[in-house]
Amino acid sequence: MTMSPTLRPYLARLKALMTNRYAAFLFFLLGYTAILQQQGGLPSLLPAWRLEIPLLLYLYFFLNQLLRKSRLQPFVAAAPLVLFYGVSDAYFIMFGRMLRITEITELPEMFQVLPPLALALIGALIGLPLLAFLASLEFRTRRAAMVKASLPLLALLLMVEITPDFFMTAFQETQQEIFLYSDTASARNNGRLSMMLYNEARRKSYREKIAGHQMNPASLIDSDKVIAGLKGQQGKRNIHLIVMESFLDPALLQKACFSRNPAHPSFSKLLAKKGGISISPVFAGGTAQAEFEVLCGAPALREFSGIEFDVFTGAKTPCLPRILAQGGYETNSTNAYKPDFFNSTNAYTGIGFEKRYYPQEFAAGYDTYFSAGDVTDEDYMFDGVLFSQNLAFITKRIRENPKLPIFNYIISMYGHTPHDLNLAKRPMVVKMLGNYQDEGLEKAVNQYYYRTEAIATFIKGLIAADPKSLIIIVSDHLPSLSGSKTYQDLNYLGGTVKATFLNRIYIIENGRPVRQNTIHHYDIPRIILNFATKGKYCQEHDCNFTAHDTPVARNASRDDYLDIMSQAMDAGSAIRMIGAKTQCMP
């Protein structure tokens, strides 16, 4: 069969393209990342064409200049870049977060905790290609070409290290959107290598701004005193802190009319008129900001990042879980969503959670006790499924080791926009009445009915298993619905803009609901520490939660914030903490 003359030029060009080392290198990485994405790795390289792909091609060119010419030169030059991508994906799959430059130097320490077979395999996969690269270096005859080829790389690295703010500004203006709450989304838009450079510039910028405060963090001195008091406390009692995603109490929508009481009867019987108000730092989003406040006891001021948890490195930070852990508590976190969401793995490690659990569907290889279950038509794990598994886990844990107190922290995900329900399991039982109709609100109200049933069952179970404990349930923030106007139209707690930051909180102490005056989310750690020390904490500290708006209180809150952030952003000890065996590690 003869080939058409018109096809020959195109086929020749295609052959030339396929035999071109740069095209082959790029096609390989595109294929590799597409496959790894399906296996739980970071997203495909394809969307990251603005900087990542040109940068990779330049680096491949530069590495070629370092090597002597041979048939293997294209493969040997590609080895470091392919290895970088491979290590990045392996790190993400193992730890749920994207690798930072500051963590690379700590990888050898992490390898020390691996079993010998895994260590040998990693050594072969990484060591052999690097040895081949080093053996192929040619310095004598290619020195001038090396120097010229290295200039763009040196300029880029100097920009990151010397002028990080300029680099960040240029990056934000020229690249695609950076998602502060997710490494995955940022890597999808901008690539692994590009985001590593951006994260390093951001870390450098923040460290420079906070360096002065890092010298003498007063919160460390105070936390040492609190820890000493906890250690000497006899008969420590368990603490359960549950942060509910978008937990709206429809009863506070004073102009809304419903066909029935949206709260489940068992919830009304248990907690009717016992709910308080806690002020969240956010409305309609930014769960990690609420988490920062309820776990660290400082306002989320956003002075170093739009989301504080996003710049946590895993370094030891004087937050509530670490104080409790050092004071003799076992500290566990149970997160109903993905490990990389809001940089939770780094944040939870840094603030002191010894064991960190995620649904097995999102954390392959992690040790965990629970599963998200069937999320058909709802996308997010139902609260009742989460609570029932946690109750069984905690009940068993208390029975097996009753003398070791536990801090049991839970963050839910059900109730997140768009408030979908599986109608086969949870049919609509509440209808909106009157002229004001909102489909999203009606779905959220029906979710509330089933969520309150789950809460009531959970609390009763906890009280039965742990009657002398402290249980706090608080909403992270209000759901967005149709925006703040919905809350104004329906007169939510007066219908003001400030009201959209007001959220329900329920406190059950020693099996009995107690009412607390309006507080901020960042007051919750003080309530917990006061319970843990049987009232001694508030005898030694200011627990006047209603006086936050005075200049002295505002300055003190900002000092606490800077102390915490100065420690959280210190990456020096981030990976060293991995040496301790935890339930979250593969």
CA distance 239 to 187: 37
Collapsed DSSP state (helix, strand, coil) of residue 430: coil
Distances (CA, A) of 302 to 281, 288, 307, 545: 10, 12, 6, 22
Beta-strand pair 276-279/239-244: unpaired
Query: Which H helix or E strand runs over 332?
Result: strand 330-335
The Cα 507–Cα 449 span in angstroms is: 20
Chain region(s) in the chain for CATH 3.40.720.10:
236-540
Q: How far is CA 122 from CA 62, 76, 213, in A?
A: 26, 18, 40
pLDDT score, position 578: 32
**Cis amide bond preceding 418, omega within 30:** yes
* Spatial CA neighbour of 307 closest among 202, 197, 171, 418: 202
Which residues face 244 on adjacent strands? Answer: 475
Per-residue pLDDT tens listing for the chain (586 residues) = 455 566 565 555 545 544 688 999 999 999 999 998 887 788 899 998 889 999 999 999 999 989 988 999 999 999 999 999 998 888 777 656 678 786 675 566 456 545 677 778 878 888 888 898 888 888 777 778 788 889 999 999 999 999 999 999 999 999 999 886 677 888 899 999 999 999 889 878 877 777 666 555 556 667 888 999 999 888 999 999 999 999 999 999 999 999 999 999 999 999 988 999 999 998 888 899 999 999 999 999 887 777 889 889 898 999 999 999 999 999 999 999 988 788 898 999 999 999 999 999 887 777 899 999 999 999 899 999 999 999 999 999 999 999 999 999 999 999 998 899 999 999 999 999 988 888 999 999 999 999 999 999 999 999 999 999 999 999 999 998 887 888 989 999 988 878 999 999 999 999 999 988 899 999 999 999 999 999 999 998 878 776 566 555 666 787 888 889 988 987 543 333 333 333 333 3
> In whole angstroms, how far apart are CA 113 and each of 345, 482, 575, 576, 581?
18, 50, 11, 11, 8
- Torsion, CA 391, CA 394, CA 398, CA 401, rounded to 10: 160
CA angle 329, 330, 334 (to 5 degrees): 130
Instruction: List, in sequence order, every residue forming a beta bridge with 492; answer none if it has no partner.
Output: 253
What CATH superfamily classification does 236-540 receive?
Answer: Alkaline Phosphatase, subunit A (3.40.720.10)
Return all residues near 204 (Cβ < 8 A) that are at least 6 apart: 160, 161, 164
Long-range contacts of 217-223 (CB under 8 A, 24+ apart): 217/318, 217/563, 217/566, 217/567, 218/559, 218/563, 219/318, 219/559, 219/560, 219/563, 219/564, 220/318, 220/563, 220/567, 223/318, 223/322, 223/323
Q: Is the dihedral of CA 338, 382, 528, 510 positive or negative?
A: negative
Cβ atoms of 242 and 524 closer than 8 Å: no
**pLDDT given at position 92:** 77
Half-sphere exposure (Cβ direction) of 578: Cα atoms closer than 13 Å: 23
149 in Cβ contact with 61 (< 8 Å): yes
pLDDT of amino acid 205 = 84
The pLDDT, as a whole number, for residue 582 is 35
